[in-house]
Structure 1
Amino acid sequence: MRFAWQMVRHRFASFAGTFVAITLGVAVVAGAATLYLSSRPEAPERYSASPVLVRSPSVGENDYGEPEYESWTATEATGLATRLAKLPGVTAAAADPMFYVQRLIDGRATGDPEAARLDGHAWSSAALGGYRLAAGTAPDRAGEVAMAGSPPGTRIDVLTAEGPATWTVTGTTDGPGFYVPDAVALRMSPGVRVIGLTIDGDAATVATAARGVAGSSGEVVTGGERDSLEPASVTRVRWLGAQLLIALVGLGAFAAVFVVASTCALSAAQRRREIGLLRAVGATPGQVRRMMYAETLVIAVLAALAGLPIGALTAPLLAGPFVDAGLEPAGFTGTVQPLALAGAFLLGVVVALAGVAVVARRASRAPALDALRDAAVEWRAMTLLRWIAGVAAAVGGVVLLARLSAMSITVRSTAGLGGAMLLLTAAALLAPVVIVPLVRLATWPWRRAATGMLVREGTLVAVRRVASTAAPVLLTVGFTVLLTGTIATIDNIQGVDDAAKLPAATVVAPDGVPGLSDTAVTAQTGTSRLPTRVLITHGGGTAGYDAAGVPATEFAELTAPTASPSRSATPGATPSKPAGSGATPGKSATPGGSPGETARSGGTPGRTPGSDGQSGVVLDPATAKELGAARGTVLELRWADGTDERVPVRAVVAAEPGVLLPRELVRRHDPAALTDVVLLDGPPVAVAGARVMPVRDYVQIDIDEEGRLVDLFLAVLIGLTVGYTGLAVANTLLMATAARRDEFRALRLAGATTGQVLRVTSAEAVLAVAVGTALAALVAVISLEGVRSAVEAELDRAVPLVVPWGAAVAVTVVCGLVAVAATAGPVLRHRGLTAGGGS
């Protein structure tokens, strides 16, 4: 290690690229990991004074992998809370029914629409957050509310699932939320899923006693388990941020390995004579490898120690932008995470050693005779392993793209992207092979000019240097064109395709609210559906399904005896939002059976609900097949409010979503449900929380939101890739140019000026970047055409190819500027070299 330390001290310039790459890699990983570990689920603030919580039982997982919970009915929740309140050490037990409420100011909804879904609570649950009255009295009857920010006696306008209302503030609280009388809250909420306990005893003892009372009808959580009660909407926001952070960690580690390997390979090539001398004086291949590992380890430790504080200090500064971008929930902050710092340090060292592994093995085999060689000509640009890997990647990419038409439609896009990545990898590996003909072709017009001849011949005898410069440019430009082109091609057709599916020209959509109230819906002449979530028991298990309530006339038409099983949904049916913008209809993964009670309110003893023609359910063929149901089958259905009902299948038709119910029943059992959109059949009526827009604009809202997130991801990932590419190019050219001092001295002796030398080196750098860009453009366009054909087959309509040349040009210009600057530095530094100058 002492010898390695001395080598690093005296030749630090040779290791500068490796040092910077590892420093940046560790900083990126440390910062991203710090943010990731800081963004963990947290129990809602309204439970901060309740160390023991009881939640309703789970019946499996939904399509997002989140637990699917059944609700207690109001009667069950209040009964269980009463029994829990009698336990020793419990000072109070309160059910926490939640419902949608949003304040209106000057007729417009205020606040976060998604958070408003859970802003309404029962007054007794205020104690679970330790909230108290700062003034006034508790609400006692319908139309009264306690809240923060308004003095007692204030009249406020609010919007609920029923519609606009005016409430009187009876008390001012010291915590957020709208608190109404318990009976009112239970009536406005779709069941209860949480009961909180305030205690004056030991939490573990109280929790044990509470489990005995709750039994199978509830799950008791304490300590860190309470964090699992974080709202699903908040968890999904954290998930978006986590994807970007994970991508940053992976890309940072990969790019660091790439730059370290490239740097070490070039350094080893430049030290070939030095290594030959070591072999000549008796150094074994093992000793040479250990020397290179030791040098890299010294650099890695120093670089990691430099990168850790950069990442740790940067992470908290990024918390705000992450919240603003919608990648983290409001209030998120970055905190010091020792595990993240330790992991980043270790990863930096491992990445450095991984980057030097192959290079050290090759360098250790250098023969002792290399010490006698003085020529700068490279003996072999391609190794056998590189040939094999490059050809295999090329064949794999061509085969994948050629066989796209024979593959299943559902996997064509993925296979196309995989083929593109294989071709890019092949182009990078085989670059030394194609560089020679490309350079000859590019420099042909200037082959007789002095500068052109020098650029041409200097490049042809330094294929390794050109390949090391072109490879990162190739990968960066290729990935940029491929990713942005694929997204642009799909986005170009998606909006038109989604709008074409909608049968109405104008819609009434939410305006600053999460959905439309009943008042907003009934004021319009048009068609709508009221979404809800139901649990259906079948095959010994219980599964969650997205369902929708339809007007009585539409339900009667769907269930008419003459309805065809293959019939489509009636014209004017509410459209589902574009893929990715909402819950996916269909079955949720549900292991096991349904816990809790099986006899609940909702059904009439001795008679199947729906036999009078006023109830029942309509299924689409796919859902009916999952449930093993047909017309006349009786299903065990559990509503959002926790009540059970046996409902008959009235019809099986091609409708979306897969479960349709009478709207009146959905509203009765899900009083907090909100309508997504109304398709107008007549003139619109202005109401609070609603706006009129063309159907194309309504569809574009979700497309734009998804596009904003995708663009953000692309900008960050491409920015990081370009940064590492610039580092790789600069490091390669700095090291290579610095090692060519004898060559530059010869040019000066032959009469060349500093400007002429700069033109030669700059032309070489630009040529290397141009070669990488040309290869990237060729591979990317071929790959994009394969992806385009796959998308065209999936959509069954013509899809024009969109090539983002602007992004490619921008990335290429950045790489070119970095390359020219990197070559100019060493030349200008040694511009005073003369015939008698030192070496």
Structure 2
Amino acid sequence: MLSLAWQTVKARTSGFIGAFVAVLCGTALVAACGILMESGLRGGVPTQRYAAADVVVTGDRIVRPPGGDVLAFEHAAEQPTIPADLVAKIAAVPGVKAAVPEQTFPAVVVGPDGQVLADKPSFGHNWDSAVLAPFTLVEGRAPTADNEVVLDSALAAQAKVWVGGEVRITTRSAPVRYRVAGVAEGRGDRQAALFFSSAKASEFAGRPGQVSAIGVQGSGDLAQRLEDVLANDHVTVSSGADRSAAEFDDVSQTKSLLAILAGSFGGYAILVAIFVVASTLALTVEQRRREFALLKAVGATPRQIRKLISVETTVVSVVAGVLGSVAGIAVSHGLRGAFARIGVVPEDFALSISPIPLVAALLIGIGAARLAAWSAARRPSSINPVEALGEAAVQRKDVGRARLVIGWVLLAIGLGATTLPLFLRGPLGAAMSVMAALVMIIGLALTGPRVVGAMVRVIAPKLPGLSGYLASANVVKDSRRLAAAVTPLMLAIGFAVVNYYSQTTMTAAVQQETTRSITADHVITGVVGVPAEISQTVRDTPGVTATSLVRTQVITSSQTGDSVQVERRAANGLDATAAGVVDLGIASGSLADLTTGTVALSDAHAKWENKKVGDTVDFWFADGRPASLRVVATYRHDLAFGDYVLSSAEARAHTVAGTDTAVLVKSADVTALNDLTGRYPGLAVTSGVAAQEQSEQRTQFLLNLVAVGVILGYVAISVSNTLVMTTAARRREFALLRLVGTGRRQVVRMMRAEAVLTVGLAAVLGSVVAAVPLALLAIGLTGVPLPAGPVWVYLGVLAGAALLALISIAVPTRMSLRTRPIDTIGLRE
């Protein structure tokens, strides 16, 4: 059977090209997602500050709720500290030569022009930890007094200061002058480093009895021994490339983001790949109906037909899968480059490539092809020879009852899911809109011949002229073929439109609610945050109302049946005086009661968790520390403030920076504010707070566009693939039309009319599939049924789909018409 399948594939190479391309592209996309996911686990950048440390011990950023499975975890947004007592415990482990505690805190140099030198992250440390890089003195000596500092050589040159000179440094307060005791040379340039005495560094870190990390130098299997000793201390032991995640917060965040993104993006990719491969293989098998009819007529058994199709598919999918897996390496680098350009991934983040994702993608590609082959082979292998020969001449007009039932059920489920954004606001509602559209698209794909057939019978007879008559006769008699061309085009249009406008609508809703909810006259912002003392100073000014604003996150868990769901949620820190400058839309309780140990919840989340004022709610802070706070208020404006509002002091305490994101001020006297911020380099007074969130939202928006764009690229290839296959398979039909007197131009115009009909039906169905969930999402978020966003994007999607379809139909049509009709009519299908 393998030999026969191989001979068939070689003899009908053109017939298998479509399936080959579908499997190759799908495998490449899945392999790229696998590489990104593995890079989220093992990738990174070369470590710098910990290059001389064999192992680095940090606080555990992985939150695992009790009762959850291995996949029930979340990555904390901030790096937690660890007890200083662990230094002695680690030093006692056999093989440890030195255990060096490190304190890390924000510290920025003020340049000669009075501006902060913040072109890259800048942190202060205790001088004892300099050996972990190592940083070596090239001039001067170590800092011993509280007013002394050692700068790295690049920072000293930028600040134009050397040993013996003075430099102004701001940590979490106004700048203070320090004498430069020395200049040190270290490794790399991702961060600027300042070193203080141990006592001063502990004071600046602000967490007595805690350290940021412990660098360990030793020999042997040190990491494993430390993991065994520290198993109950809630720490992470990092060695090798993982040390960079302990050193650089952006690398740690990137690794977490890549794992999450690749998982969700990969799920979409696998679903689309299976869908595309299945439709392409079904079309390939359908085009060989005469061959299978003849095999049935000469005695081939159903099992032999199924086995032949299965082996042929395996041969094609193995070759395509191997090439696609290798191509996935290039795709992953392209995605990494795109993510780096929009600021999601550091420019120097290196991917981790191993055979595991490549083999997994190959197996998924082969599995998808085998599943599609099994489904496509059911019809030609089950009918008797007489029916087979009859169906070879005239295509079947209807589809199976089971397929129709499944399709109608999916359409019903999809339509029902479109109503979820009316009850689930925020990103979850937007995600539900996309999923609802995708389910509806799959349902329409299954019911396509019936739906398209009904639409064709109404529209086709109105096509003008002889070419229109021919096109009408073709599509009415063979609506299944038209449905095969319409389906992927509809998928591309619907998927592109609903993904884009769901993001723009969500962004507009957040912007709208933020603008309405924040009633402050002025906003104080900073290049590296706003010192906490600023808000207190402003509040002490007569006639002024102000509050700190700390943008942060919390981690929550919920029980759904036997499974535990863990997720990060947006949160904010505010003062009890915030009621004068923000409007949370209080539903119950009072924001005036918001102090340390309390929390306000969004009304929707409180109802979901069955919490009310006075109850206690459990969650985890941004640094992974557990919290159990009393609810003092519930509010409605969750798009602007997230699901949790903490006291600003508590929110600050669980961030590394320890500063405010902004200070919101209700005051008409901007001059006094400018005088105050003038004493703090890097601070500025603006008139709106919404601008702060645009950068993060824009990054998320671009991230989604990149991910969706890659999938749409694959769908576009599938669209072209399907249209070329269906058109090229009609060359004998074109030859017959020409032999009975139809002119070449008439055939071209006939195909042009079919192409216009194909694009029109796809545009209508794709638009409807996108319009329903988008309208309900817009109602749920903004109160009006019109999605936000520029209309030219929608028009551009339609134009791109039309151009793709017209070219994919026109090119094979003209190529088929190049040969003489008498030569073409004798060719096999």
- Taking structure 1 as the reference length, the TM-score comes to 0.77
1:821 maps to what in 2? 807
TM-superposition CA deviations, 1:279-328 (whole Å, max 9, x none): 12221111111100111111111112222332224434543432232222
**Structure 2 vs 1, CA of residues 171 and 700 (structure 1 numbering), >3 Å: closer, same or farther?**
closer
Structure 2 residue aligned with 1:562? none
Q: After superposition, where does 1:77-476 map in structure 2 within 5 Å?
A: 77=84, 81=87, 90-105=96-111, 106-111=113-118, 115-116=121-122, 119-141=123-145, 142-149=147-154, 150=156, 152-153=163-164, 155-169=166-180, 170-175=182-187, 177-191=193-207, 192-194=210-212, 196=214, 198-202=216-220, 204=222, 207=225, 221=237, 223=239, 229=246, 234-369=251-386, 372-373=389-390, 376-400=393-417, 419-447=436-464, 449-476=465-492
Distance 2:336 2:392 in 1: 54
Give 5+ residue unaligned stretches, structure 1. Answer: 536-543, 558-564, 590-620, 629-636
How far residue 688 of structure 1 moved from its aligned partner, in angstroms, is 1.2
Q: Which of 66, 80, 83 pairs up with 2:76?
A: 66
> Residues 320 and 134 from structure 1, CA distance in 2 versus in 1: closer, same or farther, beyond 3 angstroms?
farther
Question: 1:605 corresponds to which residue?
Answer: none
Q: AA paired with 1:172?
A: A
Q: Equivalences for 1:694-713 in 2 at 5 Å? A: 694-695=687-688, 698-713=689-704
Three-state SS of the structure 1 residue aligned to 2:41 is: coil
Q: For residues 40 and 670 of structure 1, do their structure 2 counterparts lie closer, same or farther at Cα, with a shift above 3 Å needed?
A: closer
Where in structure 2 are there 5+ consecutive unaligned residues? 66-72, 157-161, 555-567, 581-587, 636-640
Once the two structures are superposed, what CA deviation does each residue of 1:713-766 show, in whole Å capped at 9, x if it has no partner? 13431x334333333332333222222223212332344433332221122122
Matched residue SS, 2:700: helix
In structure 1, C-alpha distance between the alignment counterparts of 2:232 and 2:258, rounded to whole Å:
36
Q: Distance in 1 between matches of 2:817 and 2:389?
A: 29
C-alpha spacing 1:427/1:130, structure 2 compared with 1 (3 Å) = same
Task: Name which of 515, 523, 529 aligns with 2:548.
Answer: 529
Higher alpha-carbon deviation: 819-828 or 216-225: 216-225
Q: Does 1:724 align with 2:730?
A: no
Deviation at 1:467, TM superposition (A): 0.3
Q: Aligned partner of 2:354: which letter?
A: Q
Partners in 2 of 1:29 and 1:638 — Cα distance? Answer: 34
Which residue in 2 is equivalent to 1:679? 664
| Aligned equivalent of 1:20 | 21
Distance 1:659 1:743, change over 3 A: closer
Query: In structure 2, what residue type is equivalent to 1:385?
Result: A
Query: Which secondary structure state, in structure 2, belongs to the residue aligned with residue 177 of structure 1?
Result: strand
2:590 to 564, 567, 572: 567
Alignment RMSD, CA only? 4.5
Contact 1:90 1:198 survives alignment (8 Å): yes
Which letter does structure 2 place at the counterpart of 1:707? R
Distance 1:96 1:469, change over 3 A: same
Q: Please tell me whether the aligned partners of residues 93 and 197 of structure 1 are also in contact (alpha carbons under 8 angstroms).
A: yes
Amino acid at match of 2:548: R
Q: Bigger shift: 685-694 or 298-307?
A: 685-694
Note if contact 2:22-2:280 (Cα within 8 Å) is conserved in structure 1.
Answer: no
Contact map agreement 2:343 2:699 (CA 8 A) in 1: no
Q: Deviations over 1:749-794 (max 9, x none)?
A: 34443333222112212211211211222233233333333335xx
Contact 1:439-1:459 at 8 Å conserved across structures: yes
State how far apart, in whole Å, the 2-side matches of 1:179 and 1:239 are.
30
| 1:485 aligns with one of 501, 509, 514 | 501
How far off is 1:522 after superposition?
3.8
The one-letter code sitting in structure 2 at the alignment partner of 1:133 is L
SS at match of 1:39: helix
Aligned pairs for 1:424-823 (under 5 A) are 424-447=441-464, 449-510=465-526, 512-516=527-531, 518=533, 522=537, 527-529=546-548, 566-569=589-592, 624-626=614-616, 660=647, 673-680=658-665, 681=667, 682-683=669-670, 684-685=673-674, 686=678, 687-695=680-688, 698-717=689-708, 719-791=709-781, 800-802=786-788, 805-823=791-809
For 2:481, the aligned partner's letter is R
CA contact (8 A) 1:123 1:179 kept: yes
Comparing 449-458 with 230-239, which one deviates more in the overlay? 230-239
Q: 1:420 to 1:578 in 2, by over 3 A?
A: farther
The 3-state SS of whatever aligns with 1:92 is strand
Query: Are the aligned partners of 2:600 and 2:634 in contact in 1 as well (CA < 8 Å)?
Result: no
Q: Distance in 2 between matches of 1:2 and 1:739?
A: 25
Work out the CA distance in 1 between the residues paired with 2:17 and 2:322. Answer: 15
Separation of aligned partners in 2, 1:585 and 1:751: 71
Taking the aligned partners of 2:88 and 2:456, their CA distance within structure 1 comes to 84
State the distance in 1 between where 2:236 and 2:503 align: 46
* SS in structure 1 of the partner of residue 135 of structure 2: coil
Q: How many residues align?
A: 746
How many angstroms apart in 1 are the aligned matches of 2:721 and 2:231? Answer: 66
Aligned residue type for 2:547: S
Q: Is the 8 A contact 1:516 1:690 kept in 2?
A: no
How many angstroms apart in 1 are the aligned matches of 2:811 and 2:746? 15
Given the two structures, how large is their TM-score scaled by the length of structure 2? Answer: 0.78
- Shift in Å at residue 485 of structure 1? 2.8
- Give the CA deviation at 1:454: 0.6
Q: 1:164 to 1:519 in 2, by over 3 A?
A: farther
Going from structure 1 to structure 2, the CA distance change for 1:667 and 1:371 (only over 3 Å counts) comes to closer
Moved more, 698-707 or 379-388: 698-707
CA distance in 2, matches of 1:816, 1:58: 49
Corresponding residue for residue 36 of structure 1: 37
Please say if residues 190 and 670 of structure 1, whose CA atoms lie closer than 8 Å, have aligned partners that are also in contact.
no
1:688/1:171 CA distance change after superposition, 3 Å: same
1:596 alignment counterpart = none
**Range moving further from structure 2, 342-351 or 512-521:** 512-521
Aligned to 1:609: none
1:592 corresponds to: none
The CA deviation string for residues 109-138 of structure 1, in whole angstroms up to 9 with x for no partner, is: 34467x44xx21100011123332233321
Q: Is the 8 A contact 2:93 2:225 kept in 1?
A: no
SS in 1 for 2:765: helix
